[in-house]
Structure 1
Amino acid sequence: MRGRILIYGGTGYTGRLIAEYARNLRRATVIAGRTEHRVLALAAELALSGRVVTLDEPQAIDDALGDIDVLINAASPFARTAPPLIEACLRTRTHYLDITGELPIFQSAARYDDAARERGIMIMPGVGLGIVASDCLALHVAGRIPNAKYLRMAVLRPDSFSRGSIRSALGLSNSQVTIRRNGRLIFVPVGRLQRVFDYGDGGRESVAVNWADVFTAYYSTGIRNIEAYFEANLASRAFYQLGAGVADALRLPPVERWLDAVVRTLPDGPSAQRRQMERCVIVAEVEDSWRQRSCARLETPDGYSFTAEAATEIATRVAGGDFRPGFQTPAGVYGADLVLEFKGTRREELADSLSAWSVP
């Protein structure tokens, strides 16, 4: 095995952080993207190889992956970039990783499970903060209540976002929220499920959102009832409800083009100084039929720095032969304590939760 890693979308905000982190590893790393001058400039700056790849030419993707063992897709929106890259990885026997948190991408990727097993490659979306941290925490609390029936995840709202995160969030605007009930994915209206979670400074209102944990945590833990929440104050909840009301309009081509133009005017993402000041907090709780409960809170560095380290670490493991063929989840392959190996990450057991279960 050559152990060569390619970062597609390496010139984007998070992709660049991954490339900067990866250049210090003992693995040959390649930066790839659509825009030639940006790819070559960054490759020269970081002393890495660069390749220009457009996703509308399957043969060009195959050629770019011909000598690659692991692909990290860091290019949003993943609804556009993941399908052609996964299919190319299957053709070239290249392991596929990405940093998405978009639920539809996981649902689509799981359909390639049999093909990936047959080709001997691993498909693992969500190797950034969005899934690695929450998936590990979910498996941890599930391990403390062996017959857990319910799992609820909650994330503290960050103070800043990159352009790619905003673009992905706009693409996920919906009038309904996906949750898991009795093993099946179902929909409830936006705003119906609201709960209080303790992120470390007392209870905060949170609202159920479309997050991929309702899909990935089922694979990792086997728990049949799962909800995912996002901390939201009164203004945030009102804005969320407004977005749900116009979700269909946001998908009209003229509106999509206008929003994309607006997003391009925003800064790439938070500065290094701003990132150092931020933390990410995730809470997870499980409960069994006898109301025995396990709760834990995980604190990590800012999401972008964590993503760079997590994506690079998992890619390095895969390139070294530590993987499981097929569609996989981070905790499912590498265990609940994987997250504790990353710098500045701390897990804390909680005596109880402030929220109460309610089944719609």
Structure 2
Amino acid sequence: MTEIDGRPGHGRAKPVVAVFGAYGHTAGFVTAELLERGWTPVLSGRDATKLAAAAAAHPGVERRIASVDDPAALDRAIAGADAVINCAGPFGDTAPPLIEAALRSGIHYLDITGESLVAIDTFDTYRDDRRVKEAGIVVAPVMAFYGALGDLLATVAVGDRAAADEISIAVALDGWRPTRGTLLAGQRRAGRRVVFTEHRLRILAGDEPPPEGTWTFSEPFGTQDVVGEFSSADVVTISRHLDVARIDAFLNVAPLRDLGDPETGGPRAADASGRSAQVFLVEVVVRRGEEQRRAAARGRDIYAITAPIVVEAAERILTGRGRAPGVVPGVVTAGEIFNAEDFLRSLPLDELRLPGAG
């Protein structure tokens, strides 16, 4: 039998990965990324019609119908897989039953949620769960644009320093045609914001408006009006493994208008891969005393870039390549389990700026 990271690979040279919620917008990019790498995706979800349409786009790919309220069906959906990638929101409903299914099957779990409240629940529930370590699996939530990218940038910027006084994450988008999942997640959050001050996470009610200000981004954005206390999952992931007193997150105001407009109609493909023309820029500033260290990443389409993030994470988990030393099975963030700089350099970004790079 082929061994993958010391675990049975079911006699295959390439892993099999179950993709749950396979007919979602981002899931389409995830399936394409798996196939591009020569892996075997198994598509799963509860809607038989949508699942058939998703499978038709990739002839020969297996599909299995399953619902999160049917544990036996979930077990069948991921049977024989080496990992499962959860692409189905709302993740507060889908993550717990799929993690439990992964535990029963002894396979790795990853998801692409950007929902900070769900991320907190997942980390709090499974961080000290003995079953995860006993099963020898990795539970890796928020392996997506929000949650992983800022975490990796912050990890590189902190470097080998023991601690930081403050980490600021600023995100700029030139527009945002949200998916239905993004809109539903926003409705569930109901304006609540996750903030990290004085070394602890807090959840603020949605009855107070967020602070406003400006941030001077690099090109092509320049100086932008931003909202503070942006409830990005990066705040959660960074706080889980970096010693920092405060984490601030900002988003430029322009895309928020799109989020509030139900007529945007979702992302529009601008090339053959299905990527939209949306430009994103994530800038991270780490402050320690008078010293500041910066890292930034620019690219296209926050949904499309999630696919190489989560599939690269799956590959590194299964093969052990690029793993940080001393990390054992458990519930993890991208920044703590992977060599952050090496991971960032593997992504199809248009620009990557790291501390000390020439």
Which TM bucket (shorter chain)? 0.7 to 0.9
Task: Provide the rounded CA distance (Å) in 2 between the counterparts of 1:232 and 1:89.
Answer: 39
- The 8 Å contact of residues 339 and 345 in structure 1, kept in 2 or not, is answered as no
The CA distance in 2 between the partners of 1:194 and 1:286, in whole Å, is 20
Any idea what SS the aligned residue of 1:68 has? coil
Q: Equivalent of 1:32, from 44, 47, 68? A: 44
Report which stretch shifted further, 160-169 or 144-153: 144-153
Report if the CA contact (8 A) 2:173-2:279 is conserved.
no
User: Structure 2: which amino acid aligns with 1:346?
Assistant: E
1:271 paired residue number: 269
Equivalence for 2:172: 156
Q: State the 1:146 CA deviation.
A: 4.5
Question: Do the aligned residues in 1 keep the contact of 2:16 with 2:83 (CA within 8 Å)?
Answer: yes
State the match for 2:145 in structure 1. 129
Q: How big is the shift at 1:188?
A: 4.9
Secondary structure (helix, strand or coil) at the match of 2:214 reads: strand
Task: Name 1:229's counterpart in structure 2.
Answer: 250
**1:294 CA drift (Å):** 1.8
- Distance in 1 (CA, whole Å) between partners of 2:320 and 2:216 is 39
User: Matches of 2:336 and 2:66 in 1, distance apart?
Assistant: 32
Alignment of 1:86-97 (within 5 A): 86-97=99-110
**Is residue 307 of structure 1 aligned with residue 306 of structure 2?**
yes
Residue 204, structure 1, aligned to residue 224, structure 2:
yes
Deviation sequence 1:215-241 (CA, Å, 0-9, x none): 1002232213112221115x958x99x
C-alpha deviation, 1:118, in angstroms: 2.1
Query: Distance between the aligned counterparts of 1:65 and 1:40, measured in 2?
Result: 17
Q: Secondary structure at the match of 1:230?
A: strand
Instruction: Determine helix, strand or coil for the equivalent of 1:149.
Output: strand
Q: Structure 1: which amino acid aligns with 2:310?
A: A
CA distance in 1, matches of 2:187, 2:44: 25
CA RMSD of aligned residues (A): 2.7
1:151 is displaced (CA, Å) by: 0.9
For residues 188 and 54 of structure 1, what CA distance do their matches in structure 2 show? 33
Q: Percent identity?
A: 25
CA contact under 8 A between 1:132 and 1:339: conserved in structure 2? Answer: no
Equivalent in 317, 330, 334 of residue 334 of structure 2: 330
- 1:267–1:56 Cα change, 3 Å: same
Higher helix share: 1
What is the rounded CA distance, in whole Å, between the counterparts of 2:314 and 2:134 in structure 1?
Answer: 21
Quick one: distance in 2 between partners of 1:158 and 1:167?
A: 22
Q: 2-side partners of 1:32 and 1:266: how far apart?
A: 28
What is the letter of the counterpart of residue 105 of structure 2?
T
Write the distance in 2 (CA, Å) between the matches of 1:146 and 1:206.
Answer: 30
* 1:272-323 CA distance string (max 9 Å, x none): 44835322101111212x3322223221222122111222222223233556
Task: Output the CA distance in 2 between the equivalents of 1:23 and 1:268.
Answer: 25
Q: Which residue of 1 aligns with 2:19?
A: 7
Which whole-Å CA distance do the structure 2 matches of 1:199 and 1:87 have between them?
42
In 1, Cα distance between equivalents of 2:224 and 2:33: 34
Unaligned runs of 5+ in 2: 1-7, 10-14
CA drift at 1:12: 1.0
Which structure exhibits the higher relative contact order, with contacts defined as CA atoms closer than 8 Å and separated by 6 or more residues?
Answer: 1
In 2, the alpha carbon distance for the partners of 1:25 and 1:162 equals 26
1:342 to 339, 347, 353: 347
Distance 1:68 1:321, change over 3 A: farther
| Structure 1 runs not aligned, ≥5 long | 244-261, 352-360
State the shift of 1:199 in Å: 2.3
The residue aligned with 1:19 is 31
Residue number in structure 2 paired with 1:284: 284
The residue that corresponds to 2:163 in the other structure is: 147
- Equivalent of 2:190 in 151, 170, 173: 173
Mapped to 2, the partners of 1:178 and 1:21 lie a distance apart of 31
Displacement of 1:342 in angstroms is 1.1
CA pair 325-81 structure 1, distance change in 2 beyond 3 A: same
**CA–CA distance in structure 1, aligned partners of residues 210 and 277 of structure 2:** 33
Deviates more, 1:21-30 or 1:71-80: 21-30
Q: Moved runs in structure 1, 4+ residues, more than 6 A?
A: none
Aligned AA for 1:284? V
CA deviations over 1:133-163 (Å, ceiling 9, x no partner) = 1111111221275531111111113512222
User: Structure 1's 315 and 350: CA in aligned 2 closer, same or farther, altered over 3 A?
Assistant: closer
